[in-house]
Amino acid sequence: MIQGRFLFLLFFVLITAWGCTQGQNQKTMEFRKLTPEEERVIVNKGTEAPFTGKYEKFDGKGVYTCKRCGAPLYRSDDKFDAHCGWPSFDDEIKGAVKRVPDADGMRTEIQCAKCGAHLGHVFLGEEFTPKNSRHCVNSISLEFVPEASIPKTDTAIFAGGCFWGVEYYMQKLKGVKSVTSGYTGGHKDHPTYEEVCTGKTGHYEAVEVVFDPLVTSYETVARMFFEIHDPTQMNHQGPDYGEQYRSAVFYRNEEQKKVAEKLIKLLKDKGYNIVTELRKASVFWKAEDYHQEYYEHKGTLPYCHGYVKRF
């Protein structure tokens, strides 16, 4: 009897602790205040009545975001009329939507990948469009952002050894518009390559990555960074040694910082001894022209970088 009570008490403590952790995770995210009807659908996985949603026949150009957290979910170009009573999309913004088995045991629920908000369900094989996929979404789960209000690009800055190799692989990522090799993090204005190589300027060899946030996310770009250089090497990368070859993420806002922290934790949990620094972005100085697209012009492959799947 005593043993049984002890096990029950232990179970109760574990459940309570799990609940507190879940609550803390929820609190770290900024959610919009929902109306009772929005909460019924978005939080409690309800469904709005067919042919009543404001986006069911809506054809504006722009992006549909999550009503609860604001994350971009769907482009208007992927919306089509399925005559089903709810907004339909045949594709999502990469990484924006999570699929989970529905509680009914038959359908597949779709959720906002960032905050877990209930969106609706996804159906395959109906042949409405060439993509053969239909995301049936509640209008009440969405917020429309007109095309004119959408940022066209976002920027990320990374240092991971010789900028030639980092630039080479970053340019191949879908959604990346440009990659510039340069110097950042030091105290010398308008540094030259020779000055940076002395180690006296404090600068890192780095790249500035400009990407389309509707094609790829900052997290996707950051994951690529951690997989094309060795984030466990201190002050060198491959055969290149020197403080200018330090590994670092230069975050431009708190959202980028949180993403980098999350990825570093994931890698540490996998057993990697990560030495990558997290630093607030400062002035980025473009390197000399002969450093730009170095391997494209030379026609060879990087000698100290390569892709290694780590996530």
Query: CA dist 140 to 40, 69, 119, 146, 214, Å?
Result: 10, 13, 9, 17, 21
**Tokens matching residue 52:** 């009543």
Contacts of 169 (CB under 8 A, 6+ apart): 224, 228, 302, 305, 307
How far apart are the C-alpha atoms of 138 and 110, rounded to whole Å?
11
Helix H, strand E, coil C: the string for 77-93 is HHEECCCCCCCEECCCC
3-state secondary structure of 185: coil
Catalytic residue among 20, 66, 112, 136: 136
| 185 touches 207 (CB < 8 A) | no
Q: Would you call 136 a catalytic residue per the annotation?
A: yes
For the chain, strand residue ranges (E) read: 62-66, 72-75, 79-80, 88-89, 97-101, 108-112, 118-124, 133-137, 142-146, 154-160, 176-184, 204-211, 236-237, 240-241, 247-251, 277-280, 285-286
Pairing of β 154-160 and β 247-251: antiparallel
How far apart are the C-alpha atoms of 99 and 123, rounded to whole Å?
11
Catalytic residue among 66, 84, 112, 162: 162
How far apart are the C-alpha atoms of 242 and 207, rounded to whole Å?
17
Q: Which residues are catalytic?
A: 136, 162
